[in-house]
Structure 1
Amino acid sequence: MDRALMALSLDEEEEAPFVMPDLPGFSSAEDNVLSIMGRALNPECQKMSGLILTMSRKWQKEGRVRGVALSKERFQFIFQSEHDLLDVLDKGIQTYNEWALVLERWVENPPEDYLQYVPIWVQIGQIPVNYYTREALTALGDLVGKTKVVAFDPSKPITQDFVRVQVLFDVSKPLKTHRVLDLGGGRTTTIRFHYEKVQKRCFTCQQLNHEQQICPLKFRQRQEEAALRRERRQEVLHQRKPVLDKDDPLFGVLNESQVGIDPLTGRPKIVKEVLDEMRRYLLAEVGEDILVKVDRVQKTVEEAEKDPVAQRTILRLEPVPVLSYDLDKGKGRVFDYGEKEEA
């Protein structure tokens, strides 16, 4: 009996993977075309059965959408019409039980960062008077996420003490409540960020995936947190491997400070596609002296670094944000359950 059980166990381990038949009746890809995939950021507070039954009523799509629970964290909603699907996505960030959801349209081969970003409208307040321009507002929005829309009309009066931008926010990161700006000449100022339609979050670490009472940072002093972050940041900087090794055509052409990850945004200073194009240019036989090529690459990068718009479009290959003259586009309430600052 023991030998039979051992043989059975070994046979199971050696079984080949089951190949799903590539037949129409086996695949639901055709139905999935009109579907939205989603992820609950705080599954402990977002029971999946309630989410599936509630969201269709919340969207006012009862009878026209069908929810499917895929796991305790992931779900799918299949729509009957393209109009209803787009209407839900156009609502911006969605919540269930006051905690955020990540929603994206179904794709057959999802990228690595699928269900990682949510569109959020951010109210930026206390902006210095000299920085009410599309370029400056785009740069300020990039401090939170990837700026997609700037709701700003320079030809009309601004009656509110903030400007709204829509960003794609990485849900693995904490929300920023403020940021100190260096204005040059030893002058600094602090801008504030408020997030529309974002209800609950941890008000200790500003993450969207757990309650404040279970936050691992709650019982630490703020000074200890700041010191620990500084120490870790310094360790990372010291241990970071050079981006350009000695065999790289760009070694000695660009400085290490010009490549790698920008600590302010968490994104590459120069994306891989642009770096690869520079390498091909330096190695190509085009009848130019290598010193001329080096000088041209260096000047191009230096000029782009001086202009935030050029950094975005030339070095990072990011699209220019849409300029919306509708100042209340997609506007929603700002939920703040944190402690109020004393006047």
Structure 2
Amino acid sequence: MSDKLPFEIQIEIMKKLPGYLGLRYVSIFDDDNFPKNMVDLSAILPDSAKQSTTLSLVGSSQGLLCLYDYFRAIIWNPWIRKSVTVTFPNFDYRNYGRVVGFGVCPRTSDPKLVQITFPRYSLGNNTWKVEVFSLSLGFWRISSFNKISDLPCGSFELSSPSECVGGFIYWCASNKDDPNRSWVIISFDLTNEEFGVIYLPDSLARCRLVDLSKHRESLVLFPYDYNIAFYDCDVWMMEGGVTKSFKKLFTINSTNDFVKPLAISYNGEAVLEIVESFRKKIVSSIDTYEPSSKRFKCTTITGESGCTSISSYTETMLLRDYYD
């Protein structure tokens, strides 16, 4: 619908829907006019989401958003205002870490949640515990992922957030046994529920940090290092099918205190969180970066540092037959 109706008409339609009171900045992200098209849509959040003060975004897949507050996940379709709340299985959070992922199976259109727990310390057992929730089944089950012989459970530590692209959920993982903490990407196939390992070229594997995003239906990597005077970030895209390759798109150079890439817009601009010190206060804002002109553009969006998430979105009728 969004590619056929002008944005202003869409907003007027939404205002006439029951419950519209107006949300904190939400934009039609795959729109060439980002960030001009912003509207406050927080009133259409599910009631279960409004009750949480620690809500964060796991990700999006096929028009569904997954919100998360540590003990539960909320799978939400903003377009038809349907949501389903899922409680995570218990685990020993004092001794174990956890990452979560979300995606819709491309073959069955079944939304799935993945919880992976792993020892924080050397407890004599370095095996990951993988649990999968399928909305069609309505319960958690333990995945038989151990059939993947080269899954580096013992040495690699998974990091959040995840990214769902093309029927796979991806996480970055760093080698705890390597003093340079080299990086790999762990993938989870939403169809056959098998894990895989994608090894990165040295220029990516040896970076200080690596974040994930997506551009259209390609996985994007933000590997970055800190310099004394400024911050540089390269933008890479994963290409290929079985044989994965990586292409460098451009480099972001900034003299700001801190720049965190968040996403790549439909027209290829980088969306960034800029964190600066101003009058002894930490100020966070959202800017865009146009790679051909190397210019930064202010969006006038401000917020709390580290609390900004951006994800793609499309209209869908998924969840229409489910009730929370």
Instruction: Name the TM tier (shorter chain).
Output: under 0.3
Between Structure 1 and Structure 2, whose CA radius of gyration is higher?
1
Whichever structure has more helix as a proportion of its residues is 1
State the TM-score, normalizing by the size of structure 2.
0.27
